Structures are given as structure tokens and as C-alpha cells.
Amino acid sequence: MARAGRLVAWALDAEGSTRPAALIRIGAVPLLWTCVGENLSLVRATGAAQAAEVVLFYAASLAALIGLRTRVATALTAAVLVHIYVAAGSEAYARFFSHHHQALLTFLFVLLVFAPAGRSLSVDRWLALRRAAAAGEAPPPERGPLWALRLIALQVSAVYLWSVVDKLSLDFISGGRLERIAMELYVGSDLPEGAGIHALFVAASWAVLILEVALGVGLWSARARRWLVPLGILFHAILFLAVPVCVFSALMVLLYLAYAAPEAVDRAIARLVGAPAPAPAPAAGQEGA
């Protein structure tokens, strides 16, 4: 019972630094533009309504990037993305066919609406500091609820673990799937023969499978994150170089921030900019390791 209570408190009540959510917001918008920019443009709009949607999308996502009226901006961006996701079967939206990274970005922006992503590194923050200074008050704390960040991390784990489910087939564990991917993208029907080459593909398949299980489960553990994050970055870098995954690799690595202890992110930022380490957060309801 006590464990269940702790779990609920961890999922729903925990608070922490708002900088990880802000960094995700800032990183996700350029990835979003890269992902949908080619199709979501005025020159390709099929009518006045879609042109208006294009204008709304870029205005809202730009506001989300700089953190101006962040929650409203994020909500409007998410609304356009959800509309595209839902309407992608219609003729007017047929070109927005659903890539995985596009679906992932849509879900991310929906979840970001509920994250305090505008309380740090944003115009909203700058305005709040000005208001506090004018009123002679202390700067507002960069703290907020973490429940949406938990869900973003859960989404990343779900991507890994459902991907593992997909790979639990003879096709994959026998090395066949990686062989045909290599053939399709690189060598055509002339995959080099030989037991060594085949063994390499089998080993790579099992390594991917094991790594994806480890990432999906282990990223929740602070201890395991120390070695899983570099491995995950290496994995996604190889994917990015070897397979045309567009923004998927960068997005997954960006979303590792959702697993990080927010205070650890604060300390890392402080080290990067040479600022003194932030004061420890209050004990009640704070994020743990």
C-alpha cells in the first residue's frame, strides 16, 4: 500500500526543475519544422483553410520555441498536429502520411501542453522576472509538476519496448530483417555471402534487441542511465547515419531528458555556463535521484 502511494506520488505529485521540459520544448520545435516543413507550407496548401492552418502552425510553434504564452502556443501547435494526424487519410492531407517520428512528435506536443515548459528558458520567464523585479519580489521559482514529463518518458519506453515486440520474430532474430534492410538501402540483391557476414547480422540483430529492452526498462534507473544514455546516443547515431530516419534519432535522444532528474539537469546547465550550482530543492514533493 505504501509502495503504491509512493508510486502515485512519484507519477502525479512530484515537482522539480522546469528546465528539462523547457529544453525538450526548445529542441522539439526545430525537429518538428524539419519533419513537417516540406509539406506544411503555403506553397503546398490546397485551400484557404489549409493555408490558415499553415500560418497558425508556424506562428504557434515559433511562440512555443521562444516560450511566449507557452502553454497556449504549445496547445495550438498540438491541435494542428493532431488534426493532421487525424485527417491524414483524407485527400487534402494525404501527403502527410504517418511516419513514426511524426506520430511521436504529435504525442510529444500533446503531452508538452501539460508540462511547465514555459517556466524556464522562455520569454514567459523573462516577463515573470521583470514583473517580480518591478514589484520588488523574489524571482519566481523554476519549479513545476513533473507528471507530464513522466508520461513523455513512458512514451519513449513504449517506443523501445513495442519495437522489441515487433522484433520478436524469426525474421529478425535470424538476422534476415537486417540483411534485407542492408540490401534495400545499400547492396541490392548482392549481399556478400559467407557464414561470417551472416553471423554479423545475427549478432547485430540480437544486440539491437537487447539494447532496446535495456533502454526501455533501464532508462528509468538513475544508476543504469549513466551507461545506457551513451549507448542509446551511439545507437541512434548509427541509426541516423545508416538508415534514413529523418528526425527520429535526434528526437529520441532529446527525449532522454524526460528521464533525467531535473536537479541533475540544473547542475549540468550550471556547470556548462559556469554558474554556481543551484540551491537544493525543498524536501517535500521533490524529485528524487
Partner 1 sequence: MTIARTLRGAAWIAFAAWIVAAPAYRQLAGGRTRWVPTWDLYSNIGLDLVRAQYFAVRRGPDGAEERVALDRYAALGYDDRKAPRWLRMIRGEGGALKIGRELCERLGPGVAVQVEATIATWDGWEPLFADVDDLCEPIAPRRVTRRRRRG
Q: How far is CA 26 from CA 21, 236, 270, 284, in A?
A: 9, 20, 18, 29
- 239 vs 264, beta carbon nearer partner 1: 239
Neighbour-count burial of 279, counting CB atoms closer than 10 A to its CB (0-12 exposed, 13-18 middle, 19+ buried): exposed
Smallest distance from partner 1 to CB 219, Å:
15
**Is residue 213 involved in binding partner 1 (CB under 8 A)?**
no
Q: Which three cell numbers stand for residue 251?
A: 528526437
CA triplet 120, 121, 125: central angle to 5 degrees? 60
| Min dist. Cβ of residue 86 to partner 1 (A) | 7
Which residue reads 514583473 in cell numbers?
131
- Our finding on whether 183 is near partner 1 (CB under 8 A) is yes
Give the binding range for partner 1 (CB under 8 A) out of 17-25, 54-62, 143-151, 218-226. 143-151
- Print the binding letters for residues 241-270 with partner 1: x by CB under 8 A, - otherwise: --x-x--x----------------------
Sign of CA dihedral 134, 139, 140, 146: positive
Minimum CB separation from partner 1 for residue 18, in Å?
17
Cβ closer to partner 1: 57 or 114?
A: 114
Does 184 engage in binding with partner 1 (CB under 8 A)? yes
d(CA 98, CA 246): 13
If one asks whether residue 6 binds partner 1 (CB under 8 A), the answer comes out as no
Our CB check for partner 1 shows the closer of 137 and 190 to be: 190
Q: With b meaning 16 or more CB within 10 Å and e meaning fewer, what string describes 238-276? A: eebeeeebbbbbbbbbbbbbbbbbbbbbbeebeeeeeee
Our finding on whether 151 is near partner 1 (CB under 8 A) is: yes
Question: What would the grid cell of residue 55 be?
Answer: 500560418
- List binders of partner 1 among 102-141 (CB under 8 A): 103-104, 107, 111, 114
One character per residue 76-105, x = contact with partner 1 (rule: CB under 8 A):
----------x-xx--------x-x--xx-
Distance from C-alpha of 262 to C-alpha of 140, rounded to nearest angstrom: 17
Encoded amino acid at 167, one letter: K
Stretch that binds partner 1, among 32-40, 41-49, 162-170, 221-229 (CB under 8 A): 162-170
Number of residues lying near partner 1 (CB under 8 A): 48
- The gap from C-alpha 77 to its chain's centroid, in whole angstroms, comes to 15
Query: Using the rule CB under 8 A, is 189 a contact of partner 1?
Result: yes
Site membership for partner 1, residue 170 (CB under 8 A): yes
DSSP string covering 109-176, please? HHHHTTS-TTSSSSHHHHHHHHHHHHTTPPPPPSEEE-HHHHHHHHHHHHHHHHHHHHH-SHHHHTTH
Q: Is 8 one of the binding residues for partner 1 (CB under 8 A)?
A: yes
Binding site for partner 1 (CB under 8 A): 8, 11-13, 86, 88-89, 98, 100, 103-104, 107, 111, 114, 145, 147, 150-151, 154-155, 158-160, 162-163, 165-167, 169-171, 174, 176-177, 179-185, 188-191, 243, 245, 248
